[in-house]
């Protein structure tokens, strides 16, 4: 009889152990503290910094030479200023008899930029500007990648010591890595002049007796090496 009782006790103990082990399979319950943790929304982040290129002209010259064009190429590519972006031009106030050549220099730089689809939003005469120079003022945009757990940041834990992921972080990261023009994350771009506008300008000049071969519009970003 005693042996039977011992066997029953052992059997009951084994069943109790397996029964308690089965409790570990209960679905995780989210605590109130965890539920109250709002997941921060991940948005594309970018910083904008002013950039400048000084295009120097030799005395009496009003045309861009190959070195000037190469410098503009490098400036635009390095700062990712592309079709649809805009810049400003700055010159020194022209002295006596210099108004015509100053206007020609500004026109040379402006036509070069607009031929690439880059708009000149304003031309400013600044007293502190260097004479004989046309300065191109633009904006360089740099993307700041978000810290996504498991990619470029450690995986954090919530109040219940479970991995906490940021919803949308990887989608934002993919967008930041794929964007061709970082300034698109800050604001939209204007469309560059189309073929019809260039043709209309040429026809107007032809009728006025001042026809010249119009520069072909560019719908791609500039490429080349800087100087």
- The reported pLDDT for the residue numbered 13 is 55
**Banded model confidence at residue 1, pLDDT cuts 50, 70, 90:** low
Domains and CATH numbers, the chain: 45-144 (3.30.1330.60)
- The reported pLDDT for the residue numbered 116 is 85
Overall average pLDDT of the 125-143 stretch: 91
Say how far apart CA 172 and CA 136 lie, in whole Å: 32
Overall average pLDDT of the 50-70 stretch: 93
| CA angle centred on 51, ends 50 and 53, rounded to 5° | 150
Answer with the residue of higher pLDDT: 221 or 143.
143
* Residue 223 pLDDT greater than 50, yes or no: no
Answer with the residue of higher pLDDT: 169 or 206.
169
Overall average pLDDT of the 191-215 stretch: 67
Under a CB-based contact definition with an 8 Å cutoff, are residues 201 and 214 in contact? yes
- The reported pLDDT for the residue numbered 219 is 44
* Residue 217 pLDDT greater than 50, yes or no: no
What is the pTM assigned to this prediction? 0.59
**Which of 8-12, 60-64, 77-81, 196-200 has the lowest average pLDDT?**
8-12
- pLDDT tens for 21-58 read 555 555 556 566 656 666 667 777 888 889 999 999 99
């Amino acid at each position: 009889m005693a042996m039977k009782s011992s066997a029953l006790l052992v059997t009951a103990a084994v069943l109790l152990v397996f029964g308690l082990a089965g409790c570990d399979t209960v679905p995780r319950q989210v605590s109130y503290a965890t539920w109250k943790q709002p997941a921060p929304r991940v948005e594309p982040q970018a910083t904008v910094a002013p950039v400048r290129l000084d295009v120097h002209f030799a005395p009496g010259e009003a045309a861009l030479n190959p070195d000037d064009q190469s410098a503009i190429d490098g400036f635009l590519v390095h700062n990712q200023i592309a079709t649809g972006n805009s810049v400003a031009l700055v010159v020194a106030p022209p002295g006596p008899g210099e108004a015509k050549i100053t206007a020609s220099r500004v026109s040379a730089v402006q036509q070069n930029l607009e031929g690439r689809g880059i708009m000149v939003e304003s031309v400013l005469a600044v007293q502190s500007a260097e004479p004989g120079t046309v300065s191109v003022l633009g904006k360089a945009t740099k993307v700041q990648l978000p810290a996504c757990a498991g990619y470029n940041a450690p995986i954090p834990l919530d109040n219940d010591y479970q991995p906490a992921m940021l919803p949308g972080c990887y989608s934002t990261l993919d967008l930041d890595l794929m964007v061709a023009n970082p300034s698109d994350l800050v604001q939209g771009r204007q469309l560059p002049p189309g073929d019809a506008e260039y043709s209309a300008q040429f026809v107007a000049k032809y009728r006025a007796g001042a026809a010249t071969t119009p520069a072909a519009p560019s719908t791609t970003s500039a490429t080349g090496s800087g100087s």
